[in-house]
Structures are given as structure tokens and as C-alpha cells.
Structure 1
Amino acid sequence: MKKVIVLALLAVCTLGAHAEKKDSVNPNKPVFTVVKKNPITSIKDQNRSGTCWDYSTLSYFESEILKATGKTYDLCESFVANKTYMDRAIQVVRLHGDCQFSEGGSTYDPLYCLEHYGICPEKAMPFPGSLYGDSLNNFGEFFSVMTPYVQSVAKSSLKKISSQWKVGLQGILDAYLGKCPEQFTYEGKTYTPKTFAASLGLDWNNYVSFTSFSHHPFWTQFAVEVQDNWRNPLTWNVPIDDLQKILDNAIMNGYTIAWGGDVSEEGFTRKGLAYNVDEKKLENMKGSDMARWLKLTPAKKKSIVDSLGVNVPEVVPTQKQRQERFDDWELTDDHGMLIFGIAKDQNGKEYYMVKNSWGKSGDYDGIWYMTKNFIIANTMDFMVNKNAVPKDIRKKCNI
């Protein structure tokens, strides 16, 4: 009898690990079953800082290390930010201020930092926000001090400037982010940032990025034209169908993806869901507020999307639609996240499981479930290990 009870309990636990319970308040809330879930490190919180590119990409490399070595690391976002903001300021000064200096960045920035400067573990630098009495990052004062400083140098009327402005800027960076260590001890061994990066077991040449736009030829590379892509790394341009093939192939073969895209659409909710909403169908729904969809506030629209849940009507993205939204500024580069799995709801619709960097917010403790339609429609670009790319696509790109 005891054996029967134990087996029954194990069966319940197994089901619970793969499917979530139905919500008694909102019957339309998705009940997810995991199709494939790859290992990730803990949820972080970028708080009031525009460093999603930093958190999401380091989280990506932490997952890559997990896959390659089985070891768990907590890499330091402040180290990457310190090095990256200095490099970005140097570019702004070289161009006499005719480019943007801001908190944002791209997936390429942490990769560049790892390859050229190295990295340190989180504990080798002050905890985010601690230097100015906060419990997490808050870049309000930091950038209100740093931005005018950089702009005053870049827009200077002097015929020649000295290199001392870099010393001053480094002081600001170190005051708010902490000084990057030249040497530190980790698990009993002494490292420099470069030797630590070399010890992580990754090959920096393995990482490639993809996008899908028709204003450049497919199967060629170009620098995606967004302001925070300031280093201008080259990204492979593939047809929209191949974009999803790469994502699915990567996940099903145990890889994660560093994703950058648009989360400003009404279909992206703060509760942990994202749908590629078909607004025309919502407008035509009678007997409710949907008939006045275009007149509703963004907050009200998101509330309706949450209430409809699995019944949200979706648009299937097309190549033409992606291009039009990019050209008319509707498709924007808002946020960086980590795609690590696939799940399906009770109706069989598939979603990507996505790790966010807003702490354990939303209904799923910092994880977002974003439909495949939403991800493909709103992808700006993403970084992935070239070994995760289908062989036929690798052959066309010669990677």
C-alpha cells in the first residue's frame, strides 16, 4: 500500500513539474506544459538602469558556460558597464558628439568586453547601487553627471584636447560602478580579468548574430541600424522562416539565445506574457470594450490582453510586415532578454520561455512566456552559438 501511495505522489510531482495549474480567477490564463527547457542561472534585477543588454548577454554566457562545463558562474555586469561606457564615450568624443551617448547597448558589447578586457565574478566588485546607498542599480544621478561631462568634451570649441578627460570620466565610472579589479581571487585561485575569462571554457569565435530585413540582401551581413548598436558589428540577414528555424533548433539542441527586440507593444504584459495581438480582430469583437480598442489607453489594452489570455487573436508575422514596422519606427530596439525554452498552453500554442532581468516580477517569477509569433515579429536581432544553427543555414552563411 505504501508503495502505491509513493508512486501516486511521484506521478503528481512529475505532472506538476511540467504543467501549471489552471487559474480560478481568470479561466483564460495559460496553463503551460514545458516542451524543452535549458539550464539558466538565477534571475537578476537591472532595476533603474538601461543595462538589459548587459544583464541578458552575461546571462546568456553564463548559460553557455553551464552547457559547456556544468559550472555555475555569476558574472559581473558592473565590470562590463564600466569598460563599455568608457569605450562609448571615446567614440562620442572622436565623432565630436555626432552620435548618441546613452545607457543602452547591444549583445555585442559584453562579447567585445569578454574578448578584449576579460571579466570578473560579481563579488569582485561592489554590489550594484551600494556605492551610493541604494540596494540595486539606479542610474538617474550617475548619467545626469556623466552625460554632460562627455558632451562637454565632445562639443568643446578647443582646437586640441588632452587625454585627461578620460581620467576624469574613469573617476565617475569608478564612483558609481566600482573600480574594475586588476587581480582577484576566485575559489582559491588568483586571476586577472583576462585569465578569468580564458578559464571559462568558451570560444569567443563561436558567437554569431542573426536578423531578418529585406532592405539588405539575404545571406549577407550588415550592421543593424539602431543607435545602441554603436560598435556596428555585422549580423547575418536571413529570411523570416529561417529566423525561427534557428531559434527552434538552438533550443531543442540545448542552447539558449541572447535576444534583443521590441517589448513596447500592447501584447507584452507586465504579468509575464506576450502576444502578437491582431488589433483588427480585437476591434471587431462586439459586446465589450474591444470595439473601442484604438481609443483605449496602453494600460487598458494590456489589461484586456491579460484577461483574454489564450484567446488573444494573433497576427502571423510576415517579411513585409517586419520591414514596414522597422521603417516606420514601430519596431524598435527596446529590451534584451534570454530565450531558454519552449512551452505550450492548453490550446497547443507554443511560446518561447524567456528570462528577464527585472527581478522576480510578473506571474512567473521573472520568466516571460512569449508566443512564437510575438518573438518573430518583434526580433531586432539575436546572438547564438554557431553550433546551434541548422547545418543548411550555416552552409549558406559559410560559418
Structure 2
Amino acid sequence: MKKLIFPLFLLVSSTFAFAQEYKFTPVVDLDATEVKSQDITGTCWSFSTTSFLESEIIRLTGKHIDVSEMYNVRNTYSKKAWNYVMRQGKAQFSQGGLAHDVINSVKENGLVTEEAFSGLVYDETIYNHTELETTLKAMLDNFITNPAGKLSPKWKAAVENILNVYLGEKPTEFTFEGKKYTPESFLEMTKLNMDDYVTITSFTHQPYYSSFVLNIPDNFSNGSMYNVPLNDFISVIDNALDNGFTVEWDTDVSEPTFSAKNGVAFIPQNMADTQKGYTEIVTEKEITPEFRQEEFENFDTTDDHLMHIVGKVKDQNGTVYYKVKNSWGTNPNRVANGGYIYVSKAYMQLKSISVLVHKDALPKSLKKKLSL
């Protein structure tokens, strides 16, 4: 037995010597507002893009403002209802959306503070849009299938009444820092210009350096995106962060290698390393544009969550990860890093759907190619 002890000791020591638990240090850390929770809603698109706009306000004015996510949601539900009814129910009606839906909402309706419009009514303390969605859809379906064969002129007013009940009436005037604003004048004060923001993606089924409408379920508003090669797509994110611009990110989080609880997202070369990769550095897969396209077309990559990229960190080997602000709260039993996730380059390359950035955050050569 004694002869076995020494080799076993070497084996155990060797295992611990080569195991590298993550040790992250900041590389780029841009200003962002506090992490929030979208609770029981599918409104990540508004939470992430509103957070992105809050960081833009900080960059432009130095002001840290808590902007209402639900004001954008409230306005977008009306747009979704119109789209669903006009397509006679042959369209998706859900809680989901994309970053450009917030941009469209702000452009048309301005901005308000969280204090002016929380979207919580009847002493609610958390968001839950399950009943709101099912109630709205049932009513819209009833209008569409009206036995009289004619769409009732009351349907739009009925939609607004339901939204008022579940989310509250939209403010037309509110006070911020002792001054009265309308949503439009408040937007002007923030110095945000909605025409300055562009969506960038990377797929091989469309020409590069041109725009197209990506056919994904939540793109109900048919927003267009600029298509660029994968290397350019990553350079957009890096150039933005390195020059003080944060990035709004649409991605797939249904992968087992995306772990909010452990605060990391990665693409292992060997899927058997998935569990290990939650806490230790593992070798990652090399991502090609062809593999990325294949994963999208076979539905292994789907559009299911939007978040806010606010910086970079590096591990002890010098490998860089993206620091991503999520909207799943800060409960340490559910999320790590105070609600932030460190995302590897491989994950960003493979599982990204698109990013939204200020056009001045683009590399100059790419900006020229896109005629921006």
C-alpha cells in the first residue's frame, strides 16, 4: 500500500497544479447604472437598451439618470398590437422585442424617468406581464375574428385601456431635479439623438457592408441591420469599448455554457468540459463564419436575450472576456458578479445576433464602408 501512496499524491498534485480557477482583473470598465431585474417579463430588450441609453447619457452629459424601461415597453405594446391586427393575427404577438424597438419608441415618444413611470400599479413590487400578454392577445384575436366581418373602430382604444390598467397611464409632464419636463423636452435635455445609433450583425446569407432585415421572430417591426464580416463585427465591439462607448447586445443564452449563476459564458472545444468551464479556464473552440451561420440556420443559435456590454476583463492568462450587464437582478443565489457575466470572445463570435452602437463607436474604415 505504501508504494501506491506516492504516485497517487503526484497525480492529485498534478491535477491541482493544472487546474486554473478564473481570476479576473478589469481591463475596460465603463460607467453604467445599477443592475435591475426584469422579473417575470420578456422585456430584456427594453432593460438592456434603456441601460445602454443611460450609459450614453452619462457619456454625453455626466448625469446618472434612472430612465423608465416600462415607458418604452408601454409604447411598444401599442405598436405590436397594430402589427398583429393589421396582419390579421398572422404575426407573432409576445413580450419580446429588439433594441431598435426602444430606439423607435424614444424617437416617437421621448423619455421619462423611472420615478415618472414605473409600470407598477396596484401596489405591485415586481413586474409580471404574463396576464397582460394573454389578455391583450385574446382581445386582439376577438377583434380580428369579429363575426360581423369588420374590424371594430374601438379596438385601439381598448388596447390603450388595457395598457393603462396593467402598466399605468403615460405621463405627459413630470418633474426632474426641480424642473418640469415633457417626455420630448426631457429627451432633448439628455442630448441623445436616436439617429446616431446603428445595429450591426454578421451572417453569410446576405451581402457584407449592406443592410437587411433579419428574419427572427422578435423583429416584428422589421428593423434593418448592417451586415459585416465576423472579424469586423468583433472589431466594432472592441473599438467601441476601447473608446468609451458601451454596446447593446442581442444573443442566445439557451446554451449550457452560458451560466449566470457562475457569471461566465464560453464555448469549449470539448463539450465534456462544460461543467469544468463554469469555474476553470478551458480550451475554447475556434469560431468560423461558416460554423456561426450553420448554428443560426439549424436554430442552435436563437434570438432569446438582450444585455448591455460595459467593459472587458482578463483572466490570469491574459485572455480577454467581455463584461456584460444582465437584467436578472443581483441575488447571489441566482447570479454571480453582482449580476454581471464575463463572456468569452468565442461565445461572442458564435452566439451573437447583433449589437447596437453609436455610429461614432465604429472603426473609421468600417464607418466609411457603410457610408455612415
- Fold-level similarity (TM above 0.5): yes
2:91 to 79, 99, 121: 99
Residues 47-70 of structure 1 show CA distances to partners (whole Å, capped at 9, x for unaligned) of 110000000000000001100110
In structure 2, distance between residues paired with 1:268 and 1:243: 21
Paired AA for residue 216 in structure 1: Q
Counterpart of 1:222 in 2: which secondary structure?
A: strand
Matched, 1:158 2:158: no
Matched, 1:365 2:338: yes
In structure 2, distance between residues paired with 1:128 and 1:305: 39
Paired AA for residue 393 in structure 1: L
Instruction: Report if aligned partners of 2:26, 2:314 keep a CA contact under 8 Å in 1.
Output: yes
Q: How does 1:215-226 map to 2 (within 5 A)?
A: 215-226=205-216
In structure 2, distance between residues paired with 1:161 and 1:183: 33
Instruction: Report if aligned partners of 1:266, 1:277 keep a CA contact under 8 Å in 2.
Output: no
Instruction: Report if aligned partners of 1:276, 1:315 keep a CA contact under 8 Å in 2.
Output: yes
1:134 CA drift (Å): 3.3
Instruction: Report if aligned partners of 2:207, 2:227 keep a CA contact under 8 Å in 1.
Output: yes
1:28 CA drift (Å): 3.9
Matched, 1:277 2:249: no
Residues 344-363 of structure 1 show CA distances to partners (whole Å, capped at 9, x for unaligned) of 00122110000001111422
Runs of at least 4 residues of structure 1 off by over 3 A?
155-158
Paired AA for residue 244 in structure 2: G
In structure 1, distance between residues paired with 2:114 and 2:145: 35
Matched, 1:234 2:224: yes
Q: TM (normalized to structure 2)? A: 0.91
Q: Structure 1 152/313 Cα, relative in aligned 2: closer, same or farther at 3 Å?
A: farther
Matched, 1:378 2:370: no
1:55 to 21, 30, 47: 47
In structure 1, distance between residues paired with 2:88 and 2:196: 35
Counterpart of 2:180 in 1: which secondary structure?
A: strand
Instruction: Report if aligned partners of 2:144, 2:151 keep a CA contact under 8 Å in 1.
Output: no
Q: How does 1:104-183 map to 2 (within 5 A)?
A: 104-125=96-117, 127-129=118-120, 131-183=121-173
Q: Give the RMSD, CA atoms, in angstroms.
A: 1.7
2:37 match: 45
Structure 1 stretch displaced more, 36-45 or 144-153 = 144-153
In structure 2, distance between residues paired with 1:141 and 1:94: 23
2:252 match: 262
Instruction: Report if aligned partners of 1:183, 1:193 keep a CA contact under 8 Å in 2.
Output: yes
In structure 1, distance between residues paired with 2:56 and 2:250: 17
In structure 2, distance between residues paired with 1:227 and 1:156: 26
In structure 2, distance between residues paired with 1:155 and 1:77: 33
Identity of aligned residues (%): 36
Residues matched between the structures, number? 352
2:309 to 329, 339, 345: 339
2:75 match: 83
1:304 CA drift (Å): 4.0
Counterpart of 1:46 in 2: which secondary structure?
A: coil
1:132 CA drift (Å): 4.3
2:190 to 194, 200, 210: 200
Structure 1 stretch displaced more, 331-340 or 171-180 = 171-180
Matched, 1:329 2:299: yes
Q: TM (normalized to structure 1)? A: 0.85
In structure 2, distance between residues paired with 1:305 and 1:35: 21
Which residues of structure 1 form unaligned runs of 5+? Answer: 1-23, 284-289, 291-300
Q: How does 1:235-314 map to 2 (within 5 A)?
A: 235-271=225-261, 272-278=263-269, 281-283=270-272, 303-307=275-279, 309-310=280-281, 312-314=282-284
Paired AA for residue 163 in structure 2: L
In structure 2, distance between residues paired with 1:78 and 1:246: 29
Residues 209-231 of structure 1 show CA distances to partners (whole Å, capped at 9, x for unaligned) of 10000100001100111111111
In structure 1, distance between residues paired with 2:211 and 2:219: 14
Instruction: Report if aligned partners of 2:320, 2:344 keep a CA contact under 8 Å in 1.
Output: yes
Residues 174-213 of structure 1 show CA distances to partners (whole Å, capped at 9, x for unaligned) of 1111111111122122111111112111121110110000
In structure 1, distance between residues paired with 2:271 and 2:176: 55
1:5 match: none
2:364 to 358, 366, 391: 391
1:138 CA drift (Å): 1.0
2:287 match: 317
Which residues of structure 2 form unaligned runs of 5+? Answer: 1-15
Residues 156-183 of structure 1 show CA distances to partners (whole Å, capped at 9, x for unaligned) of 3433223211111111111111111111
In structure 2, distance between residues paired with 1:134 and 1:305: 39
Q: Structure 1 242/161 Cα, relative in aligned 2: closer, same or farther at 3 Å?
A: same
Paired AA for residue 233 in structure 2: L
Instruction: Report if aligned partners of 2:199, 2:354 keep a CA contact under 8 Å in 1.
Output: yes
In structure 2, distance between residues paired with 1:49 and 1:66: 27
Residues 77-114 of structure 1 show CA distances to partners (whole Å, capped at 9, x for unaligned) of 11111110011101100010110000000000110011
In structure 2, distance between residues paired with 1:257 and 1:153: 40
Matched, 1:354 2:324: yes
Paired AA for residue 381 in structure 1: S
1:152 CA drift (Å): 2.0
